[in-house]
Copies of this chain bind each other. A is one copy, B any other.
Amino acid sequence: MTPLELQHYLDDRKRLVEKSLDAHVPSANRPPQRLNAAIRHSLLGGGGKRLRPILVLAAAEAVGGSIAPVLPMACALECIHTYSLIHDDLPAMDDDDLRRGVPTCHKAFDEATAILAGDALLTLAFELAATPIPGQPDGAVLAMIAQLARDAGIHGMVGGQMLDIQAENRETTLAELQNIHIHKTGALLRACCLIGARLGGGDEGQVRRLNRFGEAFGLAFQITDDILDVVGDPLIMGKKPGNDQKHNKASYPALMGITQARQEAQNMVNAALEALSPFSTAADPLRALVALLLDRTH
């Protein structure tokens, strides 16, 4: 896949996901207007990359599935991601003013509304995830809802956010940092790949391989995100760099230096590509996506 082909692919999928998200969230003219406006502000107002839903769709494609049936589940993953950003930005958490280039939810509205907008999006995610999938047994969808909840909850994303908060303002080892990332961002990114593969109709082996791809992708993502926080362009990032340092947070560059961090990211990208080795060109979008992570940091 050439860079241009990938760009077209990503633009197309982004449009598809955003159209579907827009259809699932009530208009800001309908009550409760303030809540709906806040949800729309964070979900649709800031132009996110839609990486998680695109991973779901791409994983389904990689196993030969079509994308329309998994679109509601893909949107569910974006709702969960967005809710986590809204809550993480709150004054009691990271206290950020800017997200995806626009004011954070509690800045544009207020804290109570932001808490509720996050709660509403997390709840909506499971409404979308409970959509039956033509050609797949309902039991498979049930199993993937449970998987999603595990990876988004205590043993996944929420637990990782707790570990992250507890690690602020004190020495963190590389093993602890890795543990935070595996939970805080890694679990949900892995879930996207696993769920997309399973609901796209993949067999056991394919699902296992895409799970492994998602795991490596998640780590590569976090390491490159840490690097971007040091060297990044705020216009590209949509938020101010230097955030980790401001919060005295551990990061790969801080613990091992930029050069070593770049090497580590390269290793993870290699592991991700290795997991995809038996797949046909149907997995090319996933291959291009993981390569793109590294490109952002150069």
Interface residues in chain A, defined as those with a beta carbon under 8 Å from any beta carbon in chain B: 25-26, 31-32, 34-36, 39, 83-84, 87, 90, 92-93, 110-113, 115-116, 118-120, 122-124, 126-127, 129-132, 137-139, 141-143, 145-146, 148-150, 152-155, 158-159, 161-163, 165-166
Instruction: Return chain B residues, CB-CB under 8 Å to A141.
Output: 138, 142
Distance A139 CA – B150 CA, assembled complex (angstroms): 21
**Given A124-B154, A127-B150; 11 other pairs, CB 8 A cutoff:** A31-B159, A32-B162, A32-B166, A34-B162, A87-B119, A92-B111, A120-B158, A127-B149, A130-B146, A132-B139, A138-B142
30 pairs, CB–CB < 8 Å, chain A vs chain B: A26-B154, A31-B163, A32-B154, A34-B166, A35-B162, A87-B115, A92-B111, A92-B112, A92-B115, A93-B112, A116-B161, A116-B165, A119-B119, A120-B158, A120-B159, A123-B149, A123-B154, A123-B158, A124-B149, A126-B129, A126-B148, A127-B146, A127-B149, A127-B150, A127-B153, A131-B146, A138-B139, A141-B142, A142-B142, A145-B145
Instruction: Return chain B residues, CB-CB under 8 Å to A163.
Output: 31-32
Pick the residue among B31, B32, B137, B150 that contacts A138 (CB under 8 A).
B137
Most buried by B among A26, A84, A129, A162: A162
